[in-house]
Chain A
């Protein structure tokens, strides 16, 4: 009787262990938490990019850490940060306490990333950001290095540089309008969703537009979830704006592009529209999003270096769509983290930080990548610049940088003015 009870308890324990999935060789695995809004394209990008990186590393037997090889194990954490900030912080806590990950990559909305960053810092875990652009996230490293040194921004370039690129784009489009339509002093309207990361950008744009010889006719700030912006569009049209400077990261970007296309608003676009970075944008706007413009990291046929196109092609063949910038979790894991771990021969964050700080690495999302003293991604010729693209008849076409500071990537195309604008202004 005692024997059978003993046997039964052994079997139950074994079943329990199998049920909770205790890894037999947990010590030989590097656990990386991938955190993002997993039911949305941004989170899918985080996960899919990380998946390709983990597969590439594991196919080679893993990363060499000292004298042994360790495989990558990804842990998915849904931050649900578009809907609930509490979900985001809970997801990060779970990665730290329950999943006990070694590193974290991801994050998207600044408001959520700031909160998640604090949790990762509390646990002294390396958190490689792949989504939020606000300068404050990295400024924290400069202000309190000992606490925030575990944070690095892998993508995108911070919003100060995003503004810089947008202003360069604005000057370019202004030049095109002057040359092709004879508009001597373009009027500019800003339409930007209400979000924290955009606030400093608006101030910078409003200050710079007059200095650039253009006239600012107004700024409109619809809600990020607005499902109708026809009132805003009517007001913008009344202002007789020639250029609409858009800054959108949420669903309002689709609403705006679709309604502007439906009403054939006679203006050229510059700026950012994160939703337009996705292949599904064309279908979501029912083709009305033609001529919408945004910054992006990847565009079909455009390459920063020899690694970009193979990555983009592999991503498309595997997931059926173009990678968005959040898929740069690929670089975060494969080059930033992976190469640093092999160089340092350890998973110890304290030893990895100086290695990452000093390194200049070649990934898929820039000619080269390195970090400044605030652990922010360096912007400029030879480093991360991103691309500016325009939807042209159902295809994304990259039109910047095309000769800027001597930088031109393979596969660029010219900017197009919407035909209804040409019709209205062509003398």
Chain B
């Protein structure tokens, strides 16, 4: 049973990690709480559904086009709705909620509330220590590790990464040092939405495509980010697997209460926050950053 729990938590955790890394990135750099993050993930899933089921296109091609289009939509949304009010964090929060709701309603109008599916990139499953794991889930796990590696490399090994980190540490000083803080935020938004879209492309075959599919992952993703420490990418990564583990534990130990797995995961988050308010890997809140 222990192996079952570990493997299940790695699979569940990978899905949350993929979503949380992008969310954490934009929060850490631009202090933008982008509630619409998982709505972009939903848009990508619909794009892939439309491309594969309605136009009969290759899933990988649809995935690439979907990620590019959604990233563009994300950048336009940033320019139109977020950038003008960026200094007011509360307003940004509400604007992104409105943005997510608008995307939901548009999808509802275009595709109705029907539950839809997209094909797996790799069909079938593999036995790992006696546990059946679908190839698509293994792919998600691999992609989560890869994305984590790529994001860390971007942040630590490139000039853009240096700019992003500097902006995250102190926006005003970064500005004074000649960095275009607004442009860095926009690029980070592009990367963040691109990651959300990419997550949508990888996760969509594991889930059901519908206009409300962004809500549950949003809650879990926020729990992961808060647990790991707001703005900490490493924290998001580990937080995701901790919550994935908690969920698997509930399913295996309390089968009749399997529906409580989300609530238990959120309770763990609250517990951690009571003991360590800044989250596992976060830095203590400061008056000004």
Residues of chain A whose beta carbon lies under 8 Å from any beta carbon of chain B:
37, 39-41, 44, 82-83, 193-194, 218-228, 230-235, 237-238, 251, 254-255, 258-259, 262-265, 275, 280, 283-286
Contact = CB atoms under 8 A, between A and B. Distances in A.
A46 to B, nearest CB: 14
B149 interface: no
A39 B259 contact: no
Contacts of B147: none
Nearest to B251: A231
Contacts of B142: none
A221 B260 CA distance: 9
10 contacts: A82-B113, A227-B206, A227-B216, A230-B134, A233-B132, A235-B252, A238-B1, A254-B117, A254-B208, A280-B114
B137 interface: yes
B208 A259 contact: no
Contacts of B205: 286
B181 interface: no
Contact of A251 (B115, B119, B255): B115
Nearest to A282: B117
Nearest 5 pairs between A and B by C-beta? A194-B259, A39-B113, A231-B251, A231-B8, A223-B259
B216 A225 contact: yes
Contact of B120 (A218, A234, A280, A286): A286
Contacts of B120: 262, 286
Nearest to A234: B4
Contacts of A220: 251, 255-256, 258
A44 to B, nearest CB: 8
A228 B12 contact: yes
Contacts of A254: 115, 117, 208
Contact of B212 (A44, A83, A233, A258): A83
A37 B131 CA distance: 39
Interface residues of B, number: 47
Contacts of B137: 230
Contacts, number: 118
B257 A284 contact: no
Nearest to B1: A238
Contacts of A263: 125, 132, 134
A393 to B, nearest CB: 17
A252 to B, nearest CB: 9
Contact of A258 (B15, B117, B248, B252): B117
Interface string B198-239: 000000011110101100110000000000000000000000
Interface in B8-58: 8, 11-12, 15, 53
B116 A222 contact: no
Contacts of A225: 212, 216
Contacts of A221: 255-259
A226 B115 contact: no
B112 interface: yes
Nearest to A80: B113
Contact of B210 (A44, A219, A251): A251
B108 interface: yes
Interface string B239-265: 000000001100110011111011000
A63 to B, nearest CB: 32
Contact of A231 (B206, B208, B213, B248): B248
Contact of B4 (A194, A222, A235): A235
B115 A234 contact: no
Given A225-B216, A235-B252, A235-B255, A230 B11 contact: yes
Given A221-B259, A228-B12, A235-B4, A262 B134 contact: yes
A275 B115 contact: yes
Most chain B CB within a 10 A radius of its CB, from A231, A262, A264: A231
Given A222-B258, A227-B208, A264-B125, A40 B113 contact: yes
Nearest to B118: A286
B216 A39 contact: no
Given A221-B255, A262-B120, A263-B125, A284 B115 contact: yes
